[in-house]
Amino acid sequence: MPVTQWTPDLALNHAEMDKTHQEFVDLLNRVADAGGTALVRELDALIAHTEAHFAQEQQWMEAAAFPPLHCHVREHEGVLEITREVRKRVAEGETHLGGVLAKAVAEWFTHHAASMDLILAMFLNQPGQFQAATACQTGCETAKSAWHGAA
């Protein structure tokens, strides 16, 4: 059963980011639906895609001197750390964790896309016209409460 779905609400008016996010949503659903050895394979695919997804955003942030880079990157690192840990435990037999992870990351992503990624997309689309200091604070607080709410 899908844990999330792509909707126009998730679009951030940044073609490359939006394409990556659609793929990410698809991969989360594949993890949620997989079992047995296929689950480990799907988790590997999710991890590889997520590493590239987050590295690309970090590169954009560095190139644009995006002020709230560090809080955004910290959140990415936390998600990757949890995903790698779940992959390890699934491979050791705790296969129920695949679905738990997919659901939690899907909930996290809804908030992350609507806060940190939205702010980044706006900044990339309109550099110099955006109050990044305020955005950092708002983005971090929104993301923190979303993550704690999902945990």
Q: Which is nearer to Fe ion, 43 or 108 (CB)?
A: 108
Amino acid identity, position 36: G
Closest CA to 53 of 34, 33, 25, 92: 25
# residues contacting Fe ion (CB under 5 A): 2
CB of 81: closest distance to Fe ion in angstroms? Answer: 15
Q: Which is nearer to Fe ion, 74 or 96 (CB)?
A: 74
Select the residue whose beta carbon is closest to Fe ion and give its number.
Answer: 117
Q: Phi and psi dihedrals of 35, rounded to 5?
A: -140, 170
Q: Which is nearer to Fe ion, 39 or 116 (CB)?
A: 116
Of these, 39, 43, 111, 117, which contacts Fe ion (CB under 5 A)?
A: 117
CB of 2: closest distance to Fe ion in angstroms? Answer: 19
As to burial, measured by CB atoms within 10 angstroms (0-12 exposed, 13-18 middle, 19+ buried), residue 122 is: middle
Helix locations, 1-151, DSSP H:
15-33, 36-63, 69-91, 96-112, 118-125, 132-150
CB of 39: closest distance to Fe ion in angstroms? Answer: 23
Q: Which two tokens stand for residue 73?
A: 């990157």
Interactions with Fe ion, residue window 9-68 (CB under 5 A): 57
User: Contact, 31 vs 42, CB < 8 A?
Assistant: yes
Amino acid identity, position 119: I
Q: Which is nearer to Fe ion, 42 or 57 (CB)?
A: 57
CB of 85: closest distance to Fe ion in angstroms? Answer: 20
Q: Which residues bind Fe ion (CB under 5 A)?
A: 57, 117
